[in-house]
Copies of this chain bind each other. A is one copy, B any other.
C-alpha cells in the first residue's frame, strides 16, 4: 500500500512511518518541521536527542534497505500539498500534520487563531486535494478523545442513537471540547464528515487518547532512530511528564483534585491502530470514527502508579496537587467505548509496572537533558494572555543562581 504520513517527523508520525515501512508498505513523509520550531519558541526540547529527519531516513535505509520518500512543505500551502498527492498517488493518507497541544493553543489569541487556522485549513486542503487528485484514497485522520469532553453518559464511537419524542436517529456524538486545540479537531471532524457525504470520500477519524511511551520495535533499532519524548508543560503528555518529574526528584504535578479521567494508550498501540485502520478501509462516502485508546485512568491514579513504580526503583516520589490551570471537571463520570479497533484485531499493550519501569528508565537515562523549569504549568485557560517571557526570565534566573 502507498501511504503518505503527513506530520511524519513528529512524535506519533515518526513511529508510524517506520512501522508501516517495516511492514512493507511504501511510505512517504510530508512535513515542514514546524514542530521543531515550536521547541525553539518554547525554549524546550525533547528528552531524547532526536536527529534531523534526513539523518533518520538515511539510517533507516542503511539498516533496513527501505526508502522512505520525503516531501518538505506545509499542508496549509495547497499548491504544495496537492502536488504531493498528485505525484505520490497514495492509497491512504495518515494525517498527523496538526498543532496538537492544548496548552499551546491557550497561550494567547495568536496561538489560538494559529492552531485553528493551521489545523482546519490543512485538513480542508487535504480534503480538496483528495477530491481533485485521489478520490478513492483512504483518509486516516487523527482526532482526539478530547472532542467529547466529559459528558455524564457513556461515550460512544463517533455516533449515538438518540430516541426522542417517539422518533429515533443515529447522530454525531455531541462535542464538548476543552481547548482551542481540541475544538480545532471538532471542526475537522465536522468538515470531513461533510466531504465524505458530498464527494464520496472515505475517512476514518481516530479519536485518540493520551499517548505515552517513546519506544517501538523500529525506533529501538538504532540510537539515530530515537523518537521524541516531550515532558514540558505545553507538549508533554501527562504520563511522560510524571516519569521525568520522578527521575529528577520533583513532586509529580497533578492538576487540581486529579479525578480528571481520560483514555490512554501506548505508542506501540498507536502505530498498530493506524495499520488496522489502513488494512480495513472505510467505504466510499463513509465517515467512520474509532476511539483509539486501551485503558482509562484518572491523572491521580497515574501519579499513584508512578509513585509505586518509582519506589521499587528506590526513588522517593511526592505527589503535588497544583491549582488546575485548565477549566475542566476535576471529578466526573467517564466511560468511553473503545471496542472497534479491538474487534479488528488490536492486542493492547496495557500499562503495567514493567512498562512504567522502562519509561522511568528512559527518563533516568537522559536525566542530564532534563530542564526542571519546564514542567510547572504556565498556561492558564482563564487568562487571555499567558506571557512566555516571564517563564524565560525565570529560566535565566535559575541558571544564574545555579538552581
Residues of A within 8 A of B (CB): 78, 109, 112-113, 116-117, 120-121, 124-125, 128, 131-132, 151-154, 160, 162-165, 167-169, 171-180, 183, 186-187, 190-191, 193-194, 197-199, 327, 333, 381-382, 384-385
Contact = CB atoms under 8 A, between A and B. Distances in A.
A174 B173 contact: yes
A171 B176 contact: yes
25 contacts: A78-B109, A109-B124, A112-B128, A113-B125, A116-B121, A116-B191, A124-B180, A128-B384, A131-B384, A151-B171, A152-B167, A153-B163, A154-B164, A162-B174, A167-B333, A172-B174, A175-B190, A178-B194, A180-B194, A183-B187, A183-B190, A183-B191, A187-B190, A198-B381, A199-B384
Contacts of A176: 171-172, 193
A180 B125 CA distance: 13
Contacts of A172: 174-176
Contacts of A198: 327, 381-382
A380 to B, nearest CB: 10
Contacts of A191: 116, 180, 183
Nearest to A172: B174
- What's the number of copies of this chain in the assembled complex? 2
A177 B168 CA distance: 19
Most buried by B among A160, A176, A194, A333: A194
B153 A177 contact: no
B162 A120 contact: no
Nearest to A167: B153
Nearest to A327: B198
A183 B117 CA distance: 14
B109 A128 contact: yes
A177 B186 CA distance: 13
A-B complex: 10 closest residue pairs judged by Cβ atoms: A152-B169, A171-B174, A153-B164, A109-B128, A198-B327, A187-B187, A153-B167, A131-B384, A172-B174, A153-B169
Contacts of A381: 198
A125 B109 contact: yes
